[in-house]
Structure 1
């Protein structure tokens, strides 16, 4: 499992955010990337919309929130207000269909690259920071804009760059990084006609059609992740409860073994359920963590009853539990994490959103829920000594993985 911190509060004041990939105090690499890393955004969507790019996040040396321009210069946000005041227009003109635009990531920066099609995004500022788009919320001014984002951290230990479907599935895109050794790593590409297949397949699942959001002109803008859909009243708030109860109760009579670190096979924790609480002990028999039976919302968000602090015990156990519940393996596979993807999403009910998205990725990898990186099933590229990176907006219809290039 990759060990990363979640910059939940740093990147948004009022809007709910997803985790941003980042290393927890990594040891400096023997070689580091350039002070400014070129990142090429290519538009292979097949659409004629104007594209706007935004590079937003946090300066890791100062903890200041701000934005980066095309050339990689960081500027802190000005002070905001209550009610939130409009943020400055920091859009970077993006590529037309078939074209590319290069932006620079400064080393020591972590955040998101937003890309919107056809219309600029609307950002706002409070005294605490930036309010990011939240189109699952009623009245959000970006609700009818087609947009998405990739997440990244670039520091002395290298670049982490991932596509994300944690909140929604909207604009198909792949990511890549090329290291000093000229090796390029890529992920995030859909199979041929994958976007349409994902949308139609989720819409066809009983109870899930409401999570597909279509603009008045007929454009499907996004599919909301189950937590966002349920929060908006578009999916049953109790959808996963029956499975959670069954999986939780399975350990009243047998033991769950959690081995959270792939490189530490002797670090094990043992879980047994008493009532609605699952208690964990270490190999010495000492109790080290306890979790209440989680709600569907806690499982979708890997939060609430499944808190995941950045420690070495409770957080790793919680992440493992949440991944197993999202993948439907808890209760049937007693050593977690389970690493055989053929065993995932067999429970009933199950996370149909994650199942369908993973099934339509060319390499099977996606960030369909917050801890989809448990077992390395996430759509992430990393290089400790990068020289360039890319975000490729891929076809909305036929095409897909075959059209990806740097």
Structure 2
């Protein structure tokens, strides 16, 4: 999880109001072009328990990539809650913004070169890590630091949606990682914001058990961009504009629709209007049952006037906008601290149903109950997520924030987890198939 800056809102608002020539062609800038937002910053937390005994996690990387030199980076929070990066010498590097509220380049050797094609590189983390990311890049990424309103250091990470970011011309991806003494490891491949450098992973626990998330096919970025172009020609929506290219037109990454809307706020704003009206009509006359998958069990919901109301819920759900659906964190899907347990269970399941457009298909009156074969089959839908899952070898990997909402026993999210981890092994450039 990444944390926001108190002063970032005004800066971000200025950025989000801008529009760029699309398709997006990157033109890397310098520190003056760095945009500080909640989406690309990580700052400290309250101190965690510092363990007396350290159980380092080994990271390893198999290079199955056809391109140039690969470098790895690690960012996150140490057990004291302080932001850190891994230094190439094996210890934590603590960024020092020297009191600056404008981005300052992080100094130090934080790029860890990976061995060439067909070879494996490995190293141990010096301690437990939370809110972490393991970045892999073809070339070098640039990280910056600023102070937050409390005078603490914040790491400003490369921003996929800023075409002038100093790292914008670099092909990169990451694995999200938390490994703590009490809870063990949780790692996932995330395409919530964008699809970039192809990465898969295998977790090995101390008892020898393994878990795989194979990830995308080798040439998935190009394939997704081609299919998005075909989809745009079919329905007239700007799906092709999600692709970000270098100056020669080579695809670098694919932005998620919610991230694209940060650049073009009015794009596709009526996309779900007819669908939402049909949902409202249907569930004005019959119950929508939400299986909370908690002690609350099944909750009956029905449209009453302008809002969908659920039994035992402290408040109802108004009609969402396209940004509400794609972001799953605003409008009716925003969660407040005072919301009760039923509301906090309904939100992810209801937004997942809208996002995957399963509310009007057969069996869609119970959520979640349908398997992946029913996702993205109705019109309209998120063709970004449809295509991401199409080109995932095993169908796993977060394509939106609530991709972990599934019927019991299924997993679309691409998560590995467990107590007492031994090795997190990443394959760069696609698993052999």
Classify the TM-score, shorter chain: 0.7 to 0.9
Change (3 A) 1:228 1:185: same
Show the counterpart of 1:343.
374
Relative to structure 1, the CA distance from residue 95 to residue 315 in structure 2 (aligned partners, 3 Å threshold; closer, same or farther) is farther
Gap regions ≥5 residues in structure 1: 1-5, 21-32
Contact kept in structure 1, 2:143 and 2:157, CA below 8 Å: yes
Q: How does 1:384-395 map to 2 (within 5 A)?
A: 384-395=419-430
Q: Distance between the aligned counterparts of 2:303 and 2:40, measured in 1? A: 30
Q: 1:51 aligns with which of 70, 77, 81?
A: 70
- In the alignment, structure 1 residue 239 sits paired with structure 2 residue 271: yes
Unmatched runs of 5 consecutive residues or more in structure 2: 9-35, 43-52, 149-153, 233-237
TM-score, normalised by the number of residues in structure 1: 0.84
Secondary structure at the aligned position of 1:288 is classed as: coil
Q: Does the 8 Å contact 2:218/2:429 carry over to 1?
A: no
**2: CA distance between counterparts of 1:372 and 1:308?**
17
Equivalences, count: 373
Does residue 307 (structure 1) correspond to residue 337 (structure 2)? The answer is no
Whole-angstrom CA distance in 2 between matches of 1:355 and 1:71: 41
After superposition, the C-alpha distances for 1:138-161 in whole angstroms (9 at most, x for unaligned) are 532222221111101101222111
Alignment partner for residue 325 of structure 1, among 354, 359, 363? 354
Question: Could you tell me which of 195, 200, 209 is aligned with 1:169?
Answer: 195
Partner of 1:185: 211
Distance change (3 Å), C-alpha of 1:70 and 1:321: farther
Mapping of residues 261-272 of structure 1, within 5 Å: 261=293, 264=295, 267-272=297-302
Q: 1:7 to 1:233 in 2, by over 3 A?
A: closer
RMSD: 2.8
Match of 1:42 in 2: 62
> Is the CA contact 1:329–1:338 (under 8 Å) kept in the aligned structure 2?
no
Structure 1 residue runs of 4+, over 6 Å off?
none
Q: Is the 8 A contact 2:133 2:176 kept in 1?
A: yes
Supply the distance in 2 between the matched residues of 1:193 and 1:260 (Cα, whole angstroms).
Answer: 38
Closer/same/farther in 2, CA of residues 237 and 53 from structure 1, 3 Å limit: farther
C-alpha distance in structure 1 between counterparts of 2:218 and 2:251, whole Å: 18
Aligned residue in 1 for 2:143:
123
Higher RCO (CA 8 Å, separation ≥ 6 residues): 1
Give deviations 1:152-183, integer Å, cap 9, x for gaps: 11012221111111111111110110112222
Per the alignment, residue 131 of structure 2 pairs with 110
SS of structure 1 residue aligned to 2:314: strand
> Can you list the C-alpha shifts for 1:301-326, whole angstroms capped at 9, x where unaligned?
11111114587332221111111111
Offset of 1:189 from its aligned partner? 2.6
Where do residues 55-94 of structure 1 align in structure 2 (5 Å cutoff)? 55-59=74-78, 61-70=79-88, 73-79=91-97, 81-89=100-108, 90-94=110-114
Structure 2 CA distance, aligned partners of 1:84 and 1:259? 45
User: TM-score, normalised on structure 2?
Assistant: 0.79
Distance change in 2, residues 1:309/1:133 (3 Å): farther
Instruction: Work out the CA distance in 1 between the residues paired with 2:209 and 2:179.
Output: 18
